[in-house]
Amino acid sequence: MKNLRSRSVQTAILFLVVTGILVLALSGYFSPVTNIFGGSLIGLQTWVSTRYLAITDFLTVPRDVAALRQQNAGYVAEIARLQAQVIELQNKVAQTDTLAALVDFSRSNPTNSYKAAAVIGRDSSPFLKYVIINRGSNDGIRQGMPVVTNQGLVGRVDAVISGASRVQLITDPSSLVSVFLQNSEADAIMKGSVSGELALEMLSQDAKVQAGDVVLTSGLGGEYPPDLLIGQVGNIRKRESDLFQEATVQPVVDFSRLEIVLVIVNFRPIDISPLVPDQSP
């Protein structure tokens, strides 16, 4: 009985002590103590947490690198695919632009009939300036027909087979074109060369030629129709001792980048050789 009473007293005292501590703690009397202990615990917690995260990172980073590498490879492949697509589309745009320019050109010159052809090759001999086009006699192409682009004169058909033709460029060393200088109203002969440069010969000393004069086909000789644009006069060499002036021509056509050309199919060259007097003794 005595034990029972003493245990009840102990419980009551313990309850009062705990209640007292709680009351004191809730009242803020323990703040300095809790601050000290709390701060230390938080510091410890932070240290442990940081170390844990560092270890976790250390263990998981290789896996992330592999994943990133895989992702990067995917992006690289995607970029390559898109770049290829961009190049393909740029080519299509360039081709469409060229075709549109050629259509505009043929519309602006309704007197001529044109047949478009792609340049598929060049002459194997570097001495010669010929190109091969993918249209031949099956498409109505005949020898001697003039070939142009939307910019100007390219040359004339030199040889034809059923599915292809060989075109002699005006830059070929054996090419001679009768030309007319629009501003100075002078006639001359334009000649090609091995280097691809164009030169004017038989240009009268009286002609007042200036750099920048427009050079057109004259139609003389019957090999080309008149008024096809060729280029502009570049350097002029005029010496009193010479019979004729000499000049270079800057062509409007970029012969190194010929891709699509137009053959004037309704023009047939005229052979005037029987009309030329025989000069042999």
- Is 91 a binder of other proteins (CB under 8 A)? no
Is the Cα dihedral 202, 208, 214, 217 positive or negative? negative
| Stretch binding other proteins (CB under 8 A), from 44-52, 93-101, 114-122, 240-248 | 114-122
In whole angstroms, what separates CA 258 from the centre of its chain? Answer: 15
Candidates 87-95, 124-132, 205-213, 246-254 — which segment interacts with other proteins by CB under 8 A?
124-132
# binding residues, other proteins (CB under 8 A): 23
Min. distance of Cβ 256 from other proteins in angstroms? 8
Q: Show contacts with other proteins in window 127-146 (CB under 8 A).
A: 127-128, 130, 132
DSSP reduced 3-state for 170: coil
Distance CA 69, CA 109 (A): 59
Tokens for 178, please give them. 């009768």
Choices 66-74, 108-116, 126-134, 234-242 (CB under 8 A): range interacting with other proteins: 126-134
Task: Write the burial class of residue 148 (CB in 10 Å: 0-12 exposed, 13-18 middle, 19+ buried).
Answer: buried
Nearer to other proteins, 155 or 231 (CB): 155
Q: Can you read off the two tokens belonging to residue 139?
A: 């498409």
Q: Is residue 254 part of the contact set for other proteins (CB under 8 A)? A: no
Residues 136-195 contacting other proteins, CB under 8 A: 158-159, 166, 168, 172-174, 193-195
Residue 161's contacts (CB-CB under 8 Å, 6 or more residues apart) are: 136, 137
- Whose Cβ is closer to other proteins: residue 115's or residue 191's? 191
Q: Which residues contact 136 (CB under 8 A, 6 or more apart)?
A: 160, 161, 162, 163, 164, 165
Q: Which residues bind other proteins (CB under 8 A)?
A: 120-128, 130, 132, 158-159, 166, 168, 172-174, 193-196, 256
